[in-house]
């Protein structure tokens, strides 16, 4: 078609493949200019992927080109296809603009008819309009693909907002994160049977705060509270004390169940209590030590976070405390087993001796590592 006929209206029928399916699937480079080139490219893309919507859009652009030539013989038309990139975003927009400018250099259009297969391609309309006016938008939709594409686009937009917006991510990511940490800690200390109760309690608090809109009131109260690191220390100490108290109560109740009934008062029969003390202590430790150690570790972890917020090297003192608490749990359990079965002979390879030696060596090693890192102990 000659471009020197003096005809005024020069319209470009433009098809846009934002995610470059034609390059990935059909291995055809863009931009594609002219009817025959677009028709061959559409055939190649349809053969590579018969379900590809961009192929239908290209066929639709060629069909529209033929119809306009027949209906408006006094106007000049050209059909072209340009593409973005599979990564999307800025790179795709820049490639689309570059290919559009290349097309406009070959065919000086004073208007564009945009042929699109759905919602995603229309996001580049401002890029096109900033360089040449869009006189019409034609949709080539296979069944309900447009509605489906719009639905997915909206869904991904909201999912991205839930993840990236701090206002929403506090609930969408923060609450599940806290729940997973709680489950993990309970699993380590063999308290997974209490997970349902604790998770229900945490979720109930979150729903209560969000449901009654108490966030703003809590923000006001926060201004009157101590510094965040002090709040954290207070909260973890409180949780740790509750766990410690519950562990002690469970231990006492379990030990009491193994007493002979009726039990005399200790001031009336001290020797009776002394004879049963190994059995009582053993049952107490087996039932209560997990929650007692868990409470201690929660408090120490809060101390680490508090010291870290203040950039205080004393946080490493709490790290040593966590290491000691970790080994104390195993030492206490093995000690309880020895108290309940005193007839068993202790050897160098018995679990109690092994855990004791491992705890001592690990603690000493951690102290020396900290000493070598700071040139002095952090608690001096």
Q: What is the pLDDT of residues 54-90, one digit of tens each?
A: 888 899 999 999 999 998 888 899 999 999 888 777 8
Q: 3-class DSSP state for residue 137?
A: strand
Q: Which of 181, 183, 318 is nearest to 237 (CA)?
A: 318
Q: Which of 59, 74, 49, 69 is nearest to 15 (CA)?
A: 59
pLDDT at residue 35 in the model: 92
Res 147 pLDDT > 80: no
Res 1 pLDDT > 50: no
More confident position, 260 or 233: 233
The alpha carbon of residue 95 and the mean position of all alpha carbons in its chain are separated, in whole angstroms, by 31
For residues 194 and 48, give the distance between their C-alpha atoms in angstroms, rounded to a whole number: 55
For residues 307 and 378, give the distance between their C-alpha atoms in angstroms, rounded to a whole number: 12
Section 323-345 average pLDDT:
83
Tokens of 1: 């078609």
Q: Which of 281, 254, 277, 290 is nearest to 336 (CA)?
A: 281
Taking 3-state DSSP, the helix, strand and coil percentages for the chain, each rounded to the nearest 5, stand at 70, 10, 25
Backbone angles phi, psi at 251, to 5 degrees: -65, -45
pLDDT at residue 66 in the model: 92
For residues 146 and 339, give the distance between their C-alpha atoms in angstroms, rounded to a whole number: 73
Section 338-362 average pLDDT:
80
276-297 burial string, b = 16+ CB within 10 Å, else e?
A: eebbbbbbbbbbbbbbbbbbbb
Tokens of 239: 């949780």
Select, from the ranges 149-163, 164-178, 282-296, the one with the highest average predicted confidence (pLDDT).
282-296
Mean pLDDT of the chain: 79
**Which H or E run contains 205?**
helix 195-211
* 76-83 and 32-33 strand pairing: antiparallel
For residues 234 and 221, give the distance between their C-alpha atoms in angstroms, rounded to a whole number: 16
For residues 81 and 140, give the distance between their C-alpha atoms in angstroms, rounded to a whole number: 14
Res 242 pLDDT > 80: yes
- Over residues 95-132, the pLDDT tens digits come to 999 999 999 999 989 899 998 876 556 678 888 888 89
The pLDDT-based confidence of 293 (bands split at 50, 70, 90) is confident
pLDDT at residue 11 in the model: 92
pTM: predicted TM-score of the whole model, two decimal places = 0.41
Tokens of 244: 């410690």
């Amino acid at each position: 078609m000659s471009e020197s006929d003096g005809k005024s209206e020069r319209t470009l029928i433009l098809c846009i493949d934002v995610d470059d399916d034609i390059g990935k699937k059909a291995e055809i480079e863009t931009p594609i200019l002219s009817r025959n080139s677009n028709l061959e490219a559409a055939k190649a893309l349809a053969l590579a992927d018969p379900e590809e919507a961009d192929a239908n859009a290209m066929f639709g652009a060629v069909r529209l080109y033929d119809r306009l030539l027949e209906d408006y013989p006094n106007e000049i038309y050209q059909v072209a296809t340009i593409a973005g990139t599979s990564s999307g975003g800025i790179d795709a927009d820049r490639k689309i603009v570059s290919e559009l400018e290349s097309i406009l250099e070959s065919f000086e259009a004073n208007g564009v008819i945009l042929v699109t297969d759905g919602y995603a391609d229309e996001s580049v309309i401002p890029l096109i309009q900033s360089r040449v006016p869009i006189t019409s938008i034609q949709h080539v939709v296979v069944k309900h693909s447009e509605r489906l594409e719009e639905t997915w686009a909206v869904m991904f937009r909201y999912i991205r907002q839930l993840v990236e917006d701090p206002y929403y991510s506090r609930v969408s990511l923060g609450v599940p994160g806290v729940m997973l940490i709680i489950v993990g800690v309970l699993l380590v200390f063999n308290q997974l049977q209490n997970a349902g109760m604790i998770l229900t309690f945490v979720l109930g608090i979150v729903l209560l705060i969000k449901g009654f809109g108490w966030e703003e009131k809590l923000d006001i109260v926060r201004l009157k509270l101590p510094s965040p690191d002090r709040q954290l220390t207070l909260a973890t100490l409180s949780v740790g004390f509750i766990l410690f108290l519950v562990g002690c109560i469970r231990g006492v109740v379990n030990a009491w169940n193994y007493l002979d009934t009726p039990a005399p008062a200790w001031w009336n029969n001290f020797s009776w209590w002394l004879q049963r003390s190994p059995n009582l202590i053993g049952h107490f430790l087996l039932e209560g030590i997990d929650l007692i150690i868990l409470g201690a570790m929660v408090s120490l972890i809060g101390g680490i976070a508090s010291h870290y917020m203040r950039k205080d090297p004393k946080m490493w003192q709490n790290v040593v405390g966590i290491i000691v608490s970790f080994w104390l749990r195993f030492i206490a359990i093995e000690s309880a087993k020895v108290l309940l079965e005193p007839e068993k002979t202790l050897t160098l390879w018995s679990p109690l001796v092994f855990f004791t030696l491992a705890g001592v060596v690990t603690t000493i090693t951690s102290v020396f590592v900290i000493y070598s890192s700071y040139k002095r102990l952090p608690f001096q």
